[in-house]
Homo-oligomer: A and B are copies of this chain.
Amino acid sequence: MRQSQLFTKTLKKVPKDEVSKSAQLLLRAGFIDKLSAGVYTFLPLGLRVIEKIEKIIDEEMKSLGAQRILMPALVPKKNWETTGRWESFDALFKLKGKNKIEYALGATHEEVVVPLVRKHVSSWRDLPLAIFQIQDKFRDELRTKSGILRTREFLMKDLYSFHASQKDLDLFYEKVKKAYRRIFRKLKIDSKTYLTLASGGTFSKYSHEYQTVTPAGEDTIYICPKCRVAVNKELGSKNIKCWRCGRALSEGVKAIEIANIFKLKEKYTKAFDFRFTDKDGSRKLVMMGCYGIGLPRLMGAVVEIYHDDLGIIWPEPIAPFKFHLIQIGTNPQVQKEAEKVYKSLQKAGHEVIYDDRKNVGIGEKLMDCDLIGIPWRIIVSEKSLKKDAVEIKRRNRKKLSFVEIKKLNQYLDEVVG
């Protein structure tokens, strides 16, 4: 797209109340806008990143055989009362309609998905079964100092699985772990992300969280020097050993919880008396697991890890565009050639944002480019045209390459990939 058409502008000032580095950069670069504490709008560039994360997650969930649905946010009080969470889940936003019906906004969806699936499952033949959605969640968080790392409203992928036995739940749980690792690899945060034993909150006694190490993290974890696992400090810090190999753990390091998975077992199916008829004719409670990932939090975690003093450095799979084409100067020949390069890149199917702005100087264009953080920068200038070339640079490298315009598409295929 043409940058002259993009309605957002980069901002010079860092908003005073934003202390998190990722929020500062995402606000300045025009990816998000803050409506109120813990409540953000995703602007065109930011929504493109969210859409790419969504696509990666959607594909991985479907590869597990999970079926996608869309549940509502208005969840009636009686559903929450059935599980006891109307009182015990303290982050619920509650409201009452004109007709006196009380609701809580969905902070998680066990209270909707269990009675839904119960309508369609009666026999062991109907199991196992996995269902997911990517949907807006609401949590009345007291602290909202971490930008999009902790918000009151956020897009979440929630997956729920239903099984005839603990063994089958255990098997599926391991498959989800592998799918999560594939997601983290695509987002380039896998090596900094640890499977962490933590409290289960209102869900269960313990849970597994995925914690990504970064100074911006709100949590503290102790890491095993050998296994890729950790323990959350909230479980107590004395004499902690690795729950996999028994070794002593590291000193505490800061980390962000980017996902969590729970073996809920019979906790919620019991509340709704959700049973199936097993092969032997007996009526048993369905076993259940749930698996969450917050999309904006993933986006924030990526920015916490991938940035420098100049701005964001997007990993290619979730960058809003792959190429940032910049036309420098007012020379009509430069403008003409830049337009040709833009059309040629689009024709070749590349995602490109083209800085065609007329009243913006070189310095500002280059600063905006570094701030926004597109992986590849391509400059058309008088200098480059003297070589019949464009100048190409990766966002995270210093090296400049001049590539002849007539060989550009070949270069992009062979070198950039």
What 0/1 pattern do residues 30 to 65 of A give for CB contact below 8 A with B? Answer: 000101110111111001001000000000000001
* Contact residues in B for A79 (Cβ distance below 8 Å): 35
Q: Which residue of B lies closest to A40 (CB)?
A: B72
A79 to B33, CA, bound (A): 15
A95-B94, A121-B7 known; A112 vs B41 contact (CB < 8 Å): yes
Q: In the bound complex, what is the Cα–Cα distance between A37 and B101 (angstroms)?
A: 10
Distance to closest chain B CB from A290 (angstroms) = 16
Pick from B44, B50, B71, B116: contact of A67, CB below 8 A. B44
> Which residues of chain B are near A65, meaning CB under 8 Å?
5
B9, B97, B152: the one within 8 Å of A93 (CB): B97
Across the interface, do B41 and A116 meet the contact criterion of CB distance under 8 Å?
yes
Closest B residue to A4 by CB, please name it: B125
Least distance between A50 CB and chain B CB atoms (Å): 7
Interface size on A, residues (CB 8 A): 55
Verify if A400 is at the interface (C-beta below 8 Å from B): no
Copies of the protein in its oligomer: 2
Interface: A74 (CB within 8 A): yes
Q: Cβ of A33: which chain B residues have Cβ within 8 Å of it?
A: 116, 119
| Residue A331, interface by CB 8 Å | no
Is A36 within 8 A of B69, CB to CB? Answer: no
Q: A43 — nearest CB in chain B belongs to which residue?
A: B69
Query: A75 contacts the other chain (Cβ, under 8 Å)?
Result: yes
* A7 partner, pick from B5, B71, B131, beta carbons under 8 A: B131
Name the CB-closest residue of B to A130.
B7
Q: Decide if A138 is an interface residue (CB 8 Å cutoff).
A: yes
Q: Residues 233-269 of chain A: 1 if any B CB is under 8 Å from the residue's CB, otherwise 0?
A: 0000000000000000000000000000000000000
Nearest chain B CB to A77's CB is how many angstroms away? 10
Q: Are A73 and B36 neighbours in the complex by a CB distance under 8 Å?
A: no
Residues of B near A67 (CB, < 8 A) are 5-7, 44
Knowing A94-B95, A117-B7, the reply to whether A47 touches B74 (Cβ < 8 A) is: no
- State which of B7, B36, B101 has its C-beta within 8 Å of the C-beta of A74: B36
A83 beta carbon closer than 8 Å to chain B:
no
- The A71-99 residues at the B interface (CB cut-off 8 A) are 71-76, 79, 93-95, 97-99
